[in-house]
């Protein structure tokens, strides 16, 4: 069974750094794109970017390029979303998703709530 398990909720202050995680299991983690989606409570979905763990090829939405860093550690099957300097506007729910069977996020994590 494919599972994506995200790290727990975070409460941080503006200016702090943060790294949240998404651990994949039950599928070939290294050879399937995995990425992140932001959702401000009550608002729509914003696609942030994806990474191909095997070669770390990373694609970002223009809206998020330079604002966050997406990475993956294929030795432990985990993807990350990182901020170096958090802002109030980064407060949101963050979902990870993986493209296992098709070229869209067909498996999702449970979400990580970030409050700044």
- Residue 72, classed as helix, strand or coil, is strand
The CB-of-17 to another protein minimum distance in angstroms stands at 25
Distance CA 42, CA 18 (A): 23
Rule CB under 8 A: choose which of 8, 66, 88, 103 binds another protein.
Answer: 103
The phi-psi region of residue 52 (left if phi > 0; otherwise alpha if psi is between -120 and 50; otherwise beta) is: beta
| Residues 54, 73: Cα–Cα separation, whole Å | 9
Residue in 20, 34, 37, 92 binding another protein, rule: CB under 8 A: 37
**Residue 40 found at the interface with another protein (CB under 8 A):** no
10 vs 46 by CB, closer to another protein: 46
Coil, helix or strand at residue 29: helix
Q: Work out whether 108 is an interface residue with another protein (CB under 8 A).
A: yes
Residues in contact with another protein by CB under 8 A are 33, 37, 44-47, 50, 59-62, 95, 97, 101-106, 108-111
């Amino acid at each position: 069974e494919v599972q994506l398990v995200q790290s727990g909720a975070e409460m941080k202050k503006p200016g702090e750094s943060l790294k949240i995680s998404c651990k994949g299991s039950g599928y070939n983690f290294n050879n399937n794109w995995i990425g992140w989606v932001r959702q401000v409570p009550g608002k729509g979905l914003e696609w942030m970017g994806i990474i191909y763990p095997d070669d770390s090829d990373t694609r970002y939405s223009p809206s998020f390029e330079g604002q966050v860093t997406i990475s993956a550690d294929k030795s432990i099957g985990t993807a990350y979303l990182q901020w170096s300097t958090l802002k109030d506007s980064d407060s949101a729910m963050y979902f990870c998703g993986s493209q296992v069977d098709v070229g869209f996020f067909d498996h999702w994590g449970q979400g990580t709530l970030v409050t700044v």
